[in-house]
Amino acid sequence: MEVVVHSTYDEMSAAAAKEVAKLLNTKPNAVLGLATGSTPLALYKELIRMHKHEGLDFTQVTTFNLDEYCGLSADHEQSYHYFMRENLFKHINIPLQNTHVPSGTTRNHEAFCAWYENRIKECGGIDIQILGIGSDGHIAFNEPGSSLGSRTRIKTLAKVTIDDNARFFDKPEDVPIYAITMGVGTILEARKLVLVANGESKADAIAAAIEGSVTSMITASALQLHPDSVIFLDDAAASKLKLREYYDWIQANKPGAPRPE
Ligand code: GLP
């Protein structure tokens, strides 16, 4: 697990976007796993900039989103379908039929979730999965207690997540309490994981995920089990890491890097 700390949110986001660009430049038909939330917004802006100014091409790319609220249609402004269209898809040249976001309106959750898992396999599996982290340490909507082997399924959201999301809805009773989410086991099958986190409000969850035990109580700690995961942080999100200096030292002394005179 690599921990990369940048001083600002923009620098952190640009570094994470570079990982995606590096993949697309070597594998133009890559499969990307995408996340929603405020954290990946600047990463998506940077991908859009690279598309517009550096020719980053998405015509052969396939995407799978981590999750969607149950009960919200694709045109609801708080749905993750809407988020992805507004913040990424409509600004790049990806064919919309190549994009997948779990259905917020399916009545047959079990069949839909099995289809979603199968579709990921049919497309060859996810090359890079982008992740954020919830303040309770969740990835996607895998709330505390979610099995580290869990698969795509319907999940009841934790109170803290419902409260975190309340700011986006007019009335508290409008905040969805269920979501369809990829499982931790599904996420761990991606070939590479890239988690982004910024701000002090994430510092505790980040410290627990990186330096705590692997536990279903902090599902982001499952990244410790993955052979190729990178966590991009800003200074504030990294502020509670005990080994912060060590991570910086590793970055400055990667194998193959020129040794200082
Ligand atoms: C939701 C999403 C997660 C996301 C989290 C954090 O719970 N399901 O995928 O990581 O929010 O969101 P933000 O980046 O806005 O803090």
CA 108 from chain centre, in angstroms, equals 25
Amino acid at 111: A
Q: How far is the CA of 119 from the centre of ligand 1 (A)?
A: 24
Q: Ligand 1 atom closest to Cα of 161?
A: 7
Q: What is the mean pLDDT of residues 80-95?
A: 98
Residues forming the active site:
67, 136, 138, 143
Q: What is the pLDDT of residue 51?
A: 98
- What does the alpha-carbon distance between residue 218 and residue 173 come to, in Å, rounded to a whole number? 27
Torsion of CA 41, 24, 193, 256, to 10 degrees: -120
pLDDT single digits (tens) 24-65: 999 999 999 999 999 999 999 999 999 999 999 999 999 999
pLDDT single digits (tens) 158-184: 998 899 889 989 998 899 999 999 999
Q: What are phi and psi of 165, to 5 degrees?
A: -85, -15
Q: What is the pLDDT of residue 261?
A: 63
Which residue owns the Cα nearest ligand 1 atom 6? 134
Q: What is the mean pLDDT of residues 126-143?
A: 96
Q: What are phi and psi of 256, to 5 degrees?
A: 95, -15
Say which DSSP state 139 is in: B
Q: Ligand 1 atom closest to Cα of 141?
A: 8
Ligand 1 mutation pick, 44, 155, 157, 164, max ligand atoms within 8 A of CB: 164
Which residue owns the Cα nearest ligand 1 atom 5? 134
Q: Ligand 1 atom closest to Cα of 201?
A: 16
**Can you name the residues that pair with 128 across neighbouring β-strands?**
32, 192
Q: Taking the chain, what is the end-to-end CA distance rounded to the nearest angstrom?
A: 28
Q: How far is the CA of 132 from the centre of ligand 1 (A)?
A: 6
